[in-house]
Amino acid sequence: MLDAYGIHLGPLYIRFYALLLISGMVVGAYIAARRAPRFGLEPKHIWDGLTWAVLPGLIGARIYHILTPSPASGLTTQYYLENPLQMLAIWNGGLGIYGGIVGGIIGIWLYARRHKQPLLRWLDLVAPSMAIGQAIGRWGNFVNQELYGAPSDLPWAIYIDPTNRLPGYAEFERFHPLFLYESLWMLGTALLLISLAQRFHAQGRHGDLTLLYIVSYAVIRFLLDFLRLDSHSIQGIPALTTAQIVSLVAIAAAAGLFIFRDRRAAALKEVTNER
């Protein structure tokens, strides 16, 4: 039996949101495995290491949500501390991409260290796949009718059922499809990273693609939060959401490291040429 949010198989209920997240992971892993031989890497490490990345990624994503819950959810960090079992209830929603990225990178680092694999090369290989996974997974928000933006009359605005409209927006029917904006942006990011991958690999600039991926996601998240209606904010900082502050830190750190590495590589090349 089907409903708007999932499939009922007897006592088992499989949500479309979960299926889309899993599909994003599998498609991303498949693309990374197909690309691996071009960069001297073994595809089997993608599938062997997938669990190492996914589980820490889910844990990180859940922790980020617990620390920065959406006001629209009616939940707070204090609520989770007082009801610790609810921290495990990911089937009720509540995953933060920033936490997922950090957790996934930690998982890849652990796998690479255990199997003596080149960490930066693997991170660069999977960076486009992470973007593709996000592009697919964001459609889960469309299915759940959540994380939409401000009311809009644009032709591509989406209809939100009255039961899913946030307080104060009951009289509006159509809203900005933030999931679509981010999905298209991340798909474009994946294509850009794939187009740059061979050049960076040939130049030995391992790690730069990962930094570009972080900057790209941080930029779109920062911009979309101006339209988002239910982002967490830090008390005393009303002008920016928590995600926007995290995005600015991520942009500054990743872009700064990218520029530093680029200048250092140029300086080393100049010294080598002089010799």
- d(CA 89, CA 73) in angstroms, rounded, equals 14
Alpha carbons 132 and 17: distance in angstroms, whole number: 16
The whole-number pLDDT of residue 274 equals 60
Confidence bin at 26 (pLDDT 50/70/90): very high
- For residue 253, list its beta bridge partners: none
Which tokens belong to 82? Answer: 């007082």
Per the prediction, the chain carries an average pLDDT of 90
pLDDT tens sequence across 178-216? 999 999 999 999 999 999 999 988 888 899 999 999 999
Taking alpha carbons only, the member of 180, 275, 164 closest to residue 230 is 164
Q: Residues in the chain, how many? A: 275
Q: How confident is the model at residue 273 (pLDDT cuts 50, 70, 90)?
A: low
Q: Which of 114, 127, 109 is nearest to 32 (CA)?
A: 127
- In this prediction, residue 262 carries a pLDDT of 78
pLDDT over 70 for what percent of the chain?
95
- d(CA 15, CA 19) in angstroms, rounded, equals 7
Name the percent of the chain lying above pLDDT 90: 64
Secondary element (H or E) of residue 175: strand 174-175
Q: What is the pLDDT of residues 95-139, one digit of tens each?
A: 888 999 999 999 999 999 999 999 999 999 999 999 999 999 999
Statement: residue 94 has pLDDT above 90? no
